[in-house]
């Protein structure tokens, strides 16, 4: 009989497909901790535990690889990310609960759980990378077990993840200065497939760390193309690069909230041409219009209607740029594009901070920059 977790009726529709919810590493750790504490203090074997998540969904999670000793119990819960493309899907998250000569409950990370090495995160330097909500969930779950059996002694809880150090290389942790493993994460206890909230939160966490280290001006690239161009063709400090994915607007909003003085974006034109029309989420599912934006600005720069039509028929921005180059109108068109990028960046921020952009493509290389980009480059170079 198939085990039911309590998430069978929870899903979202993305691109006309039903996509299952999952549960976080924080929920795994809390359930494993609760199960280990119940077995240790109650003296009876269990095969599953119930866990109420902060989202209000009650989970029923299986306990795996249960190991018992005189004063400890260790067990694991397998992570199920649902239909979210999560690098931690399927891992085992262990919790070992042991009676210890400590006051209250002490929570720490073991093998496969990262350690914080830089300021700006929710944990202090040297602490295990167990975020505040999962930490609270784990401690609350163990407290429930202790209260059930009127246990008043000390307990030490250690969370570990076999293979966590290898998995961490595929996450944001190396960029955040978290070494030795993954983070135990989750604000709701539930994984929603392809959650924009999770992506934006990861950007916020990385930005907060840069700000905490004293950076007043930020260097931001939407993705790998921008990062590669920055590393290979610019003299700015590559290690300060923050990736914002498609979330240009949210990145500006968060920077203002944190008191940042300026942002320089370095981007492939395929992403940032959309900003020239005020589009602040550059994902193709949110908005496109790349050829329309290029064609209209080419006309502003003096292109004839035949040139505009050929641009509108182009399949990629690279193809459209070749048309502009052939018609000898590439440079003035890029000037129109960068002027409008500057306008809409300033419009998003209400000119509260200095914003600019450098744009390029993979065939022409450098295409242009907005009027405030030079000043931002100067300040970032200091």
Q: What is the 3-state secondary structure (H, E, C) of 96-149?
A: EEEEECCCCEEEEECCEECEECCCCCCCCCCCECECHHHHHHHHHHHHHHHHHC
Q: What is the pLDDT of residue 157?
A: 98
Distances (CA, A) of 296 to 256, 305, 311, 334: 31, 10, 10, 12
Average model confidence (pLDDT) across the chain = 94
Give DSSP secondary structure letters for 280-307.
Answer: -B--TTT---HHHHHHHHHHHTT--HHH
Q: What is the pLDDT of residue 235?
A: 95
Residues forming a β-bridge with 356: 264
When pLDDT is cut at 50, 70 and 90, the band that residue 2 belongs to is low
pTM score, whole prediction: 0.76
Q: Note whether 319 and 270 are within 8 A (CB).
A: no
pLDDT in tens, 299-315: 999 999 999 999 999 88
Q: Note whether 76 and 94 are within 8 A (CB).
A: yes
The first and second tokens of residue 377, run together, are 């480059």
DSSP state of 20: E
Mean pLDDT of 168-172: 87
Mean pLDDT of 18-38: 96
Residue 236 has pLDDT above 60, yes or no: yes
Residue 140 has pLDDT above 90, yes or no: yes
pLDDT in tens, 177-230: 899 999 999 989 999 887 788 789 889 999 999 999 999 999 999 988 899 999
Say which range, 19-28, 55-64, 167-176, 348-357, has the weakest mean pLDDT.
Answer: 167-176
Reduced to 3 states (helix: H, G, I; strand: E, B; else coil), residue 233 is helix
CA distance 367 to 333: 10
């Amino acid at each position: 009989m198939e085990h039911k977790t309590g998430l069978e009726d929870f899903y979202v529709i993305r691109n006309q497909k039903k996509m299952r919810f999952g549960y976080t590493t924080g929920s795994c750790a809390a359930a494993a901790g609760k199960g280990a504490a119940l077995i240790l203090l109650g003296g009876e074997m269990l095969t599953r535990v119930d866990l109420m998540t902060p989202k209000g969904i009650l989970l029923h999670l299986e306990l795996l690889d249960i190991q018992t000793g005189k004063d400890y119990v260790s067990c694991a819960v397998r992570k199920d990310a649902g239909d979210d493309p999560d690098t931690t899907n399927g891992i085992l998250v262990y919790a070992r609960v042991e009676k210890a000569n400590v006051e209250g409950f002490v929570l720490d990370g073991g093998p496969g759980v990262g350690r914080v090495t830089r300021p700006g995160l929710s944990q202090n330097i040297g602490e295990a990378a167990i975020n505040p909500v999962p930490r609270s969930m784990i401690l609350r779950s163990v407290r429930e077990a202790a209260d059930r059996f009127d246990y008043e002694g000390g307990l030490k809880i250690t969370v570990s993840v076999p293979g966590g150090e290898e998995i961490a290389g595929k996450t944001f942790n190396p960029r955040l200065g978290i070494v030795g493993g993954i983070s135990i994460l989750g604000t709701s206890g539930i994984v929603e497939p392809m959650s924009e909230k999770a992506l934006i939160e990861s950007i916020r966490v990385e930005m907060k760390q840069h700000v905490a280290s004293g950076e007043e001006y930020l260097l931001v690239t939407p993705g790998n193309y921008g990062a590669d161009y920055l590393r290979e063709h610019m003299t700015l400090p590559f290690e300060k690069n923050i990736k914002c994915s498609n979330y240009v607007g949210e990145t500006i909003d968060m920077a203002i909230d944190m008191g940042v003085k300026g942002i320089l974006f370095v981007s492939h034109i395929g992403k940032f041409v959309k900003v020239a029309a005020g589009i602040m989420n550059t994902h193709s599912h949110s908005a496109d219009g790349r050829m329309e934006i290029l064609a209209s600005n080419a006309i502003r720069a003096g292109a004839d209607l035949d040139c505009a039509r050929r641009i509108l028929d182009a399949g990629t921005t690279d193809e459209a740029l070749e048309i502009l180059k052939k018609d000898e109108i590439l440079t003035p068109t890029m000037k129109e594009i960068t002027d409008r990028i500057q306008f809409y960046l300033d419009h998003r921020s209400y000119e509260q901070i200095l914003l600019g952009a450098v744009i390029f493509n993979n065939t022409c290389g450098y295409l242009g920059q907005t009027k405030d980009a030079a000043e931002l480059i100067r300040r970032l170079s200091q």
